[in-house]
Amino acid sequence: MEDVKFTNLIGKYLSGNMSPPEKKELMSWAESDTTNQSYLEDMIDVWSKTADAEPAFEADIEAAWAKVDQKLPSVESEQPPGAKIRSIRRASRRWLQIAAAAVVVLAVGWWWSTGNGQPDAWVAVNTLDGQLKEITLPDGSQIWLRGDSRLSYPESFTQRQIKLEGEAFFDVARMEDSPFEIYSGEAKTTVLGTSFNVRAYPDDEVIEISVTSGTVTFEEQRGDEKVTLVKNTSAVLNKVSKTIEKTEEAISNATSWKSNEFNFEDIPFEIIFDDLARHFGVEIQVQNEELKKEPYRLMKQPAKDLKEILGILKWGAQIPMEVDTSRLQEENVIIIK
């Protein structure tokens, strides 16, 4: 999805929100092909006419809008008494904002129309908190989309490309000549046919992937970080450091949200509490250091009621354990003593 990648970079360039490495990458792309260069120049021209900005786009955005406001007609002297002056002025500025934003929309349409004659419509699927949706793509691939997530893909699906915000489990139909690509924030995942879980909520500091079968390439879109994952391995991309850490084991209970059950097979309580916190979206603070290291076994436990599960763990633990839920309602915190 190089086309969409550079369209996004153009949007950043036009808005002045671009890092030096991104700018270097965009300029190299433009210089590599006369078509790319012409397209970039056209977008700069449209944006410049719309926002009255200089091509360098180094100016402060508010200052640029101040310039635009100064050039808007002085409607106070042109309107009769009682006219809604404020609404007219806001409408003018709003029109300019819409036109400027349309540059990116035009860019996407231009890219998708290249080669097939017309822009491809995109399908978007959203889920509410606590909701689970199963989606079958045109190529036969299946996706389970977790709550509070968004998935989008081109309707024709001639190129197998997906955008994900949130968490989903993928069972990808194998097509040797057509890689399946997932763009989730800073991460890109590429496969031919495999099953795996991706967690990429915009507010999280990391993006996680855990592979169930097959082989997966996982990379940071704007850097050199890239790893290859196979069955029962996982990786975490840190959005801040732009680094990827690979682990030779799957993320524990990564798909409990899909199977709706936990399987704790002789693993330390510390990992168990991490799994519970991840699944239920709470913070669990463990103050009992000795308890953290104790292994525990609990298989096929329904992942529905957090307090019930904590009660089972407390009853079965060899080391005395206290559960403090007094801060759960207000602060979403549980303390284990």
Three-state secondary-structure class, residue 101: helix
User: For residues 282 and 334, is the Cβ–Cβ distance under 8 A?
Assistant: yes
Element (H, E) at 69: helix 61-71
| Encoded amino acid at 126, one letter | N
Element (H, E) at 314: helix 306-316
Chain length of the chain: 337
pLDDT at 14: 67
Each residue's pLDDT expressed in tens, for the chain with a length of 337 residues: 456 677 777 776 666 666 667 777 888 887 887 777 777 777 766 655 444 333 333 334 444 444 434 433 333 333 334 433 333 333 444 444 444 444 444 444 444 444 444 556 889 999 988 889 999 999 999 999 999 999 999 988 888 999 999 999 999 999 988 999 999 999 999 999 999 999 999 989 999 999 999 999 999 988 788 999 999 999 999 999 999 999 999 999 999 999 999 999 899 999 999 999 989 989 999 999 999 999 999 999 999 999 999 999 999 999 999 999 999 888 899 999 9
The per-residue pLDDT for 73 is 39
> How buried is 202 (Cβ within 10 angstroms: 0-12 exposed, 13-18 middle, 19+ buried)?
exposed
